[in-house]
Chains A and B, each alone.
Chain A
Amino acid sequence: MIHAELLSRLCRARDLLRDWEDEPLSVIAVARASGLTHFHFIRLFKAMFGETPHQYRSRAQIEKAKHLLVLTDLSITNVCMAIGFSSVGSFSALFSRRVGMSPSEFRRRYLASLPEQQLPSGLVPGCLSLMAEISD
């Protein structure tokens, strides 16, 4: 059983993987900060959150990139650096693989329809509101 104290350490680890200051933390560093051995940490994290710490961190980076692309006018290179990637090539490749379109296409698609500094509704489905968009 996962006791309250371990649960809180795992949640803290998840926060560390998602919200970092200067650059993304390595999985080993986060395991250490959580007081768990590397492999034990990876196994527990996956069992609790359904993906490995590495997969979680990478998904969080892509999410952050999506928001920056739509909400700011940072260049693709700056978005790439802001989410902790050093190579625009590998960032664009990962982004395209995950999102199904390149960062610049993504920006073009969602930026046009925006009022102001708000994520478009297609990206922030509200409670049960998806039902309204089902087409027959």
Chain B
Amino acid sequence: MKIKLSSIMVENQATALAFYTGVLGFKKSKDIPVGEFRWLTVVSPDGYPDVELVLEPNANPSAKAFQQAMFKQGIPLAAFEVDDIEAEAKRLKKSGVKFTMDPKQQGPVKLAIFSDTCGNLIQMYQPPQRTP
């Protein structure tokens, strides 16, 4: 058994693909039409190539209610690891991304939270420096 797919619900799959590739820098992996929706996944060029993030439509009213409530409470629904959080935050802000938490040391990690424009807050974190 392998961890291969994780998913995030998005308001609109087309704009989500534009944000997750054009702004965050992921690459499109699968894009298969399924009825009104798409089976749409992205991968990180810097990460493990076989781990995919599914950009799932959140047309289900229950999913939408959950997503909106979490957003309102400021709770992120996914977390991505970065090497240099300050540089990433600067880069994303330049592209117009809005942060609800600027990079901040929290215990052993540095965290920041931003809106993915698709209905979710996303956390990025920089793990503690590994000593060689």
Contact = CB atoms under 8 A, between A and B. Distances in A.
A48 interface: yes
Contacts of B34: 125, 130, 133-134
A123 B59 CA distance: 7
B102 interface: yes
B32 interface: yes
Contacts of A1: 98-102
In this complex, the interface size class of chain B, counting residues with CB under 8 Å from chain A, is: 35 or more
B125 to A, nearest CB: 17
Contacts, number: 77
Contacts of A114: none
B37 A130 contact: yes
B19 to A, nearest CB: 7
A47 B115 contact: yes
Contact of B72 (A8, A49, A133): A8
26 contacts: A1-B102, A2-B98, A2-B99, A7-B100, A11-B71, A47-B97, A47-B115, A47-B117, A48-B98, A48-B117, A50-B19, A50-B119, A51-B12, A51-B15, A67-B61, A122-B36, A124-B59, A124-B60, A124-B61, A125-B37, A125-B59, A127-B7, A128-B56, A130-B34, A130-B39, A134-B39
Interface of B: 5, 7, 11-12, 15, 19, 32, 34-39, 54, 56-57, 59-61, 63, 68, 71-72, 74, 96-102, 115, 117-119
A82 B118 CA distance: 27
Contacts of A119: 61
Contacts of A14: 68
In this complex, the interface size class of chain A, counting residues with CB under 8 Å from chain B, is: 20 to 34
Q: Is the interface of A mostly helix, strand, loop or mixed?
A: helix
A134 B72 contact: no
Contacts of A128: 5, 7, 54, 56
Interface in A1-21: 1-4, 7-8, 11, 14
